[in-house]
Structure 1
Amino acid sequence: MTTCVNDKIQNIQQEKPKNNANLEAKMELIAAIISGILIIIAWILGKNDFEQPSVIMYIIAFIIGGFAKAKEGIEETIANKELNVEMLMVFAAIGSGLIGYWAEGAILIFIFAISGAMETFTLNKSHQEISALMEMQPEEAWLIQEDGTEVKVATSSLQVGSKLLVKPGERIPVDGAIIHGTTSIDMSAINGESVPVTKEIGDDLFAGTVNMSGAIQMEMTKPSEDSLFQKIITMVQNAQSEKSPSQQFIERFEGTYVKIVVASTILMALVPHYTLGWTWTESLYRAIVLLVVASPCALMASIMPATLAAISNGAKRGVLFKGGVHLEHLATLDVVAFDKTGTLTTGKPVVTDFIVRDGLQKEDVLALLAGIESQSNHPLAVAITKYAEERNIAYSRSLEIEDVPGHGLRAYSKNEEIFVGNPRFIGENHVANFQNNVAEQLASEGKTVIFMKDEQGIMAAAALKDTLRQEAIDAIQALKQLGIETVMLTGDNERTAEVIAKEAGVDRYVAECLPETKVEQIKAMMQNGKQVGMIGDGINDAPALATATSGIAMGEGTDVALETADVVLMKNDLTKIPYTIQLSEKMNRIVKQNVFFSVSVIAILIISNFLQVVDLPLGVIGHEGSTILVILNGLRMLNPIK
């Protein structure tokens, strides 16, 4: 039912205010109720032999109750140059009046109007999450001027670099960083966590979050349209407008089906009169009933409300889908592949061991390593830099650095080339000879070892241990219960990968993966006929996220991962993965139920009409009632999965 459902979706996608959308639903309902009252008055007048006033009241009921639907149908027909469901209803109502069945035609309009009002209401309900999000966006901010005074300006007028004042209790207006002050920030709008986070100078701030305590000054670092909050809204809006394969098929089918209904109606009006001896009135009446009961309103409404409700369900729980197609695909997954660092683990490792070559000063070597790693934002690099700072080791950021993706860093110090990275980058033979192959022992303990090498060999080895997320273990067990295979794809060495894989409980793992290796592994699984989901958070995961059947990004991941993925976990909670798969499975079940039910009702009503056992009012009730039922069944997707 393209115009019955999708026009309202488009209205909301065009940022129609929530109050206006609710007003539209109320006006449609009021018009339907007035139409119903007029029908009762017309019926009473007819019973008392006031035929002409009765017909006039029926005509007024037609106009008031049918205006909204007729307007939608005519506009859509003109725009697409193709008949639609609304026009079928209009034709049926007008035809009923022309052959003298004013009451039946008016009842058709009344129930159709009631159905339309319910459609508007239910679709507005499925969009409440995005409406609530949009209301969280501050429209004004306190801009700090050059003379130090503050002036309230529109958020849309701000530029990157603008300095802003945020008072206690106010929402952060744009993405930026604190330049003065300390406060607690309520991050629940972004990550769903109720516990406020302490933010100090240099810490990032996100639009839509709430400043809980002290007044702070901040500097805008991103345009408003590129803020994390706006990206969330955009992703939800895009998801609501992008149709699933099932919905696309149904909508392609609608145009052909409507033409078949029109042709069948014409045949119904002519053939029984000449072949079965029906009167013209009887033939035309049955043709009009056929026009009503054969219209595919319920079939067209079988998918979209359920999909929108499921997207809203996910958004409420911190899971963003970039379209119905991605939500639908989740139910087909056979394998879920995990990145390790930042996905299965917290991504915040700590240095547990630091070993240097004999003859070197530990502090000097650590200062050099920290100076190199300080220019990288990789979690391991951050941990090493923090390790040096905790020991008050001074280091220089002036070294010339070259990033070698998937391997490590190449630095130049005093005309000497320094390599920092994994054993494959440093050289396996050098690693084995360093301090009696201490790296093997460290790796067996589940630690990641980073080496630094100069022209004479390995200078130092830093062992780091990442903490496994507790929810990762729970998520993997839940996936296994759903019959889904779990795989870990990591760039870590074999020993570390083995330890983490055992702790997490994955079915198998692949170690020492470069970005292209992860892609190859996913392609291999897909070539074996498996549907694969990939979960990651980093730039190196982006190719794999794009390759997989469903790419799932952690919300705290890089912008590239967020842009590439099909699904985003804003709360970084891996237990939402089994939940989303179950959400997808439930949605697909409801869609199948709706399609079967709507097709069955249409078939029964068509047959009953040929057998002359269903009249127009009953046909209208069956047709519109089935439409309302499939919409309400679809809205069950708003309920939590148990």
Structure 2
Amino acid sequence: MEGIKQQDSPSILSRLKPHIELIAALFSGVLILFAWFFGIGEESSLSITLYLAAFLIGGFAQAKEGILNTIHRRELNVELLMIFAAIGSSVIGYWAEGAILIFIFSLSGALETYTMNKSKKELSSLMNLQPEEAWLLDANGQSNRVLVNTLEIGNRLLVKPGDRIPVDGVIVTGSTSIDEAAISGESIPVSKHAGDELFAGTVNLNGVLTIEMTKSSSESLVQKIIELVQSAQSEKSPSQQFIERFEGKYVKIVLITVGLMMFLPHYIFDWDWTTTFYRAMVLLVVASPCALVASIMPATLAAISNGAKNGLLFKGGVHLENIGNMKAIALDKTGTLTQGKPLVTDFIVRDGLDEQAVLTSLASIESQSTHPLAQAITSFAITKGVKTFPITKMEDIPGWGIKADIDLKEWKVGKPRFVGYDEAMSFSNDVALHLENEGKTVIFAADQDGIIAVLALKDTVRPESKEAISLLRKAGIYTIMLTGDNERTAKVIAEEAGVDHYIAECLPETKVTHMKDLLAKYGNVGMVGDGINDAPALATATLGIAMGQGTDVALETADVVLMKDDLSRITYAIHLSRKMNRVVKQNVIFSISIIVLLIFSNFFQIINLPLGVIGHEGSTILVILNGLRLLKIK
């Protein structure tokens, strides 16, 4: 039993450690309640001791942060000002007021720290995307498994079916289909042949390849994605930089003013020293920014909670603030505007043939393949009530299609040039050309008598996408689709979804370039995506928005997550943000007005310390209540 306890203790401590600041703040609040109870009527030694304990426990983290930041940046900060204000209250005998100041400020700081910890971006999914090992071919054509970081440009590698491409390179021998979804976001695999370029992290679906390494592993496209995300995340927002500059100036002004207040009135207005010191301490209390801090945090947390109840996960208040000021939004195509997987949209058979019989034979062939298009065709056949039968003789031709024998007849299923280009393109009044112009992928089935059937597949637009785009445009947001698709497919999807503009053939690097162009033009730009390839653009945008069913790295990189994959929630987020921004402005104006009023009232000796604390803490309570209204809005 003792052994078990020794193992469990570190686990409990490790779970509590990230929340220790919040626990300390809440515990200090409990101590204040006990101190107030024991000090009713007249403060006792016990109540003062409890207040002092609340000071130390609640204020430790903020005092430590304030002192370390002051030493590191050589700049005074609000944390120190709050500690000075609390100490000043205690010096003139107002222990409760000082403790409450510490409690409110430490609680807001703890909640802010907790929120920031929740929004840390993890790159583990990206790190795991690039294989650590590869099959290196020697001069005799023998393969040896080696670490990727030991490879050099010019090395030749063997890539087996199902393996991830280990490095950026070109195909020397072999043909295959490559799943490039991790890089381009395109759901339909791309055929690759000798001389074609390959990217690390993409998947070789069926062919055996020999490739030549063209870039070092540190310069691969996947590595660039990682660096782009890290770079974008390290940049501070303009509002954060402004707050930091304002904080130092505010503290300096208050401390200088309090310092002057401690002796100038004695000589200028002939105040006695007791009054002079008393008024300086009142100034230190009423000038402390409790109400100003409370103007933002409770409103922000209330809005974040409201969003969570409505399918929106905000990773911090700054992101909630930004979305309300958004001028344009870029959306990934695959998995965001579209379903993210191909579906059969058209099925046309040769005149005189039974459609169900043709589909049965075709599905029986495709059911033997793991290719995404084959799986889509098989799923389509199942919905039509087709039952497949075993194929005894079949050959998969990587990058082209499939050969199979059915009833002593050879079937070919695949691209036009595989089944007979001229016959394929002229079949049924050039129907293939019309289908391709609609942005669809066309597959042909043929036997020795010619084309048997044509199937068209397409990654279809989500039903809710059109409505969501329409709502965004009504909200005054300019919409842009970024996709790795070719120009023709991109144009069709863009028109169907109703976006204002589209940019085709985007790799992760070019998405970032386009995003920077949009930022230069519109200032505040959002990005919606779901894949690893979207991560750099999500991090570069003012606001990254990820689909809830997206990849881990997209979810971790994004600032906002649509938990129900509902794009219309973006419009709700904009409404919630604009409402929050109005409430925050109301609170800030009100709190600053009260601080200014209390400062002037103190200067003219209209108020005393208890009244100053009532005005100060009363304004704090009012702005908190005003912020909590955001919990109820719809």
TM-score class normalised by the smaller sequence = 0.5 to 0.7
**In structure 2, C-alpha distance between the alignment counterparts of 1:505 and 1:339, rounded to whole Å:** 14
User: Counterpart of 2:92 in 1: which secondary structure?
Assistant: helix
**2:83 maps to 1:90:** no
- Kindly report which structure 2 residues correspond to 1:257-272, keeping only aligned pairs within 5 A, or say none: 257-272=250-265
- Superposition deviation, residue 393 in structure 1: 5.3
Distance 1:581 1:111, change over 3 A: same
Which of 36, 55, 67 is equivalent to 2:53?
Answer: 67
User: Counterpart of 2:479 in 1: which secondary structure?
Assistant: strand
Distance 1:520 1:391, change over 3 A: farther
Number of residue pairs matched by the alignment: 476
* RMSD of equivalent CA atoms: 4.8
Structure 1 contact 371–396 (Cα < 8 Å) conserved: no
Give the aligned residue type for 2:558.
Answer: A
Q: Which residue of 1 aligns with 2:27?
A: 24
Q: Which residue of 2 aligns with 1:224?
A: none
Which of 14, 23, 27 is equivalent to 2:18?
Answer: 14
- Kindly report which structure 2 residues correspond to 1:12-411, keeping only aligned pairs within 5 A, or say none: 14-15=18-19, 24=27, 27-28=30-31, 30-31=33-34, 33-34=36-37, 38-39=39-40, 41-42=41-42, 57=43, 60-73=46-59, 76-78=62-64, 80-81=66-67, 84-97=80-93, 105-106=94-95, 108-109=97-98, 112=101, 246=239, 249-250=242-243, 253-254=246-247, 257-347=250-340, 349-354=342-347, 371-372=368-369, 374-376=370-372, 382-387=375-380, 390-392=386-388, 394=390
**In structure 2, C-alpha distance between the alignment counterparts of 1:487 and 1:396, rounded to whole Å:** 49
Q: Which residue of 2 aligns with 1:462?
A: 455
**In structure 1, C-alpha distance between the alignment counterparts of 2:557 and 2:413, rounded to whole Å:** 31
- Superposition deviation, residue 501 in structure 1: 4.3
Structure 1 contact 368–396 (Cα < 8 Å) conserved: no
Distance 1:481 1:622, change over 3 A: same
Structure 1 contact 123–305 (Cα < 8 Å) conserved: no
**In structure 2, C-alpha distance between the alignment counterparts of 1:411 and 1:69, rounded to whole Å:** 74
User: Counterpart of 1:295 in 2: which secondary structure?
Assistant: coil
Give the aligned residue type for 1:96.
Answer: I
Higher mean C-alpha deviation, range 604-613 or range 341-350: 341-350
**In structure 2, C-alpha distance between the alignment counterparts of 1:421 and 1:549, rounded to whole Å:** 42
- Kindly report which structure 2 residues correspond to 1:438-457, keeping only aligned pairs within 5 A, or say none: 438-443=431-436, 448-451=440-443
Q: Which residue of 1 aligns with 2:470?
A: 477
Distance 1:307 1:396, change over 3 A: farther
Higher mean C-alpha deviation, range 600-609 or range 306-315: 306-315
- Superposition deviation, residue 515 in structure 1: 5.6
Distance 1:560 1:247, change over 3 A: closer
- Superposition deviation, residue 577 in structure 1: 0.8
**In structure 2, C-alpha distance between the alignment counterparts of 1:630 and 1:271, rounded to whole Å:** 34
Structure 1 contact 337–533 (Cα < 8 Å) conserved: yes
**In structure 1, C-alpha distance between the alignment counterparts of 2:269 and 2:428, rounded to whole Å:** 101
State the TM-score, normalized to the length of structure 1.
Answer: 0.61
Distance 1:602 1:574, change over 3 A: same
User: Counterpart of 2:263 in 1: which secondary structure?
Assistant: helix
**In structure 1, C-alpha distance between the alignment counterparts of 2:541 and 2:239, rounded to whole Å:** 20
**In structure 2, C-alpha distance between the alignment counterparts of 1:627 and 1:426, rounded to whole Å:** 76
**In structure 2, C-alpha distance between the alignment counterparts of 1:396 and 1:65, rounded to whole Å:** 85
**In structure 2, C-alpha distance between the alignment counterparts of 1:615 and 1:433, rounded to whole Å:** 94
User: Counterpart of 2:583 in 1: which secondary structure?
Assistant: helix
- Kindly report which structure 2 residues correspond to 1:492-571, keeping only aligned pairs within 5 A, or say none: 500-510=493-503, 518-519=511-512, 521-571=514-564
Give the aligned residue type for 1:613.
Answer: I
Distance 1:438 1:573, change over 3 A: same
Q: Which residue of 2 aligns with 1:235?
A: none
- Superposition deviation, residue 552 in structure 1: 1.9
Distance 1:545 1:258, change over 3 A: closer
Structure 2 contact 32–99 (Cα < 8 Å) conserved: no
Q: Which residue of 2 aligns with 1:437?
A: 430
Stretches of structure 2 that go unaligned for 5 or more consecutive residues are 1-13, 71-78, 119-234, 405-411
Deviation sequence 1:41-94 (CA, Å, 0-9, x none): 23xxxxxxxxxxxxxx36654433453134433564356425624422332223
**In structure 2, C-alpha distance between the alignment counterparts of 1:596 and 1:399, rounded to whole Å:** 74
- Superposition deviation, residue 383 in structure 1: 1.7
Distance 1:487 1:12, change over 3 A: farther
Structure 1 contact 375–401 (Cα < 8 Å) conserved: no
Deviation sequence 1:363-393 (CA, Å, 0-9, x none): 7766555555x244xxx55422423564515
**2:620 maps to 1:627:** yes
Give the aligned residue type for 1:607.
Answer: F
